[in-house]
Amino acid sequence: MVSIFIVDDDENLHRVYRSFFTMKGFSVIGSAFDGAEAVELFVTLNPKPDILLMDYRMPIKDGVTATREIRGIDPASKIIFLSADETAREPALAAGALSFLVKPVKFVHLLQAIDTLLNKH
């Protein structure tokens, strides 16, 4: 079963992502509401999630910094960046995100991105 870790400061999005992934038979093994919490939680997770969904603008620590730190901890981690801010594309990919999708994202495109990452890597 594909395991997912959701990082976003929007509680509502956590709910809809979780519903969707559960419906599709994925397992949501972690949720964080800011970058700092994401890094802390990621360290404790064992096994590590197959996919991380990462927002950009979050309190305490932004998604680009969190991505860099998580990739530092586990260079094999697969992070999909989801942001409404297109200017984050370049820094996100430079920090180690493997995919960048602009919100609002259709689930079909999100699934495609997950599929590509899991098959490619």
Partner 1 sequence: MSEQSHQDKFQRLVEAAEVLIIGLDSRGRITLFNQKCEEVTGYSREEVLGKSLFTLLIPSEERKDARQRFKKLLAGEKPKFAPLTSWMTKSGVQRFMQWNTAIFMDTDGQVSEIYSLGIDITKQREAEDKLRYSEELFRVLAENAQDVVYLYSILPERKFEYVSPAVTKVTGYNPEEFYDDPDLVVKIVHPEDLPILQGALRDPTSFTEPSEIRWIRKDGDTIWTEQQSTVIPDEKGNLVAVHGVVRDITERKQVIDEMERARNLAEFLVDLMAHDLNNINQGIMSAMEILQHDPSFPESLQGRLNDALSQVERSAGLIDSVKRFQRVDIEPVTLRRMDVYPPLQSAIEAVERNFPTKSILITNNIRERQYYVTADQFLSELFFNILHNAAKFDRSERVTIDVRADLTSDERFLRVNIMDHGPGISDDEKARIFSRMTSRRTGVRGTGMGLTLVGQILHRYGGNILVADRVDEDYTQGASFVILLPKGEV
Q: How far is the CB of 65 from partner 1 (least distance, A)?
A: 18
Q: List the x/- string, 26-65, binding to partner 1 by CB under 8 A.
A: -------------------------------x--------
* Binding flag, residue 25, partner 1 (CB under 8 A): no
Q: Which stretch binds partner 1 (CB under 8 A): 31-39, 41-49, 65-73, 77-85?
A: 77-85
53: Cβ–Cβ under 8 A, 6 or more apart, which residues?
Answer: 4, 5, 6, 7, 8, 17, 80, 82
From CA 95, how far away is CA 90, in angstroms rounded?
Answer: 9
19, 27, 112, 116: which one binds partner 1 (CB under 8 A): 19
Single out the residue of 45, 107, 112, 115 in contact with partner 1 (rule: CB under 8 A): 107
Rounded distance between C-alpha atoms, residue 52 and residue 28, angstroms = 10
The answer to whether 89 touches 99, Cβ cutoff 8 Å, is no
Gap between the terminal Cα atoms of the chain: 16
Q: Which is nearer to partner 1, 61 or 103 (CB)?
A: 103
Counting Cα atoms < 13 Å in the Cβ hemisphere of 65 gives: 11
Name the residue nearer to partner 1 (CB basis): 73 or 84.
84
- Residues within the interface to partner 1 (CB under 8 A): 10, 12-13, 16-17, 19-20, 23, 57, 82, 84-86, 102-107
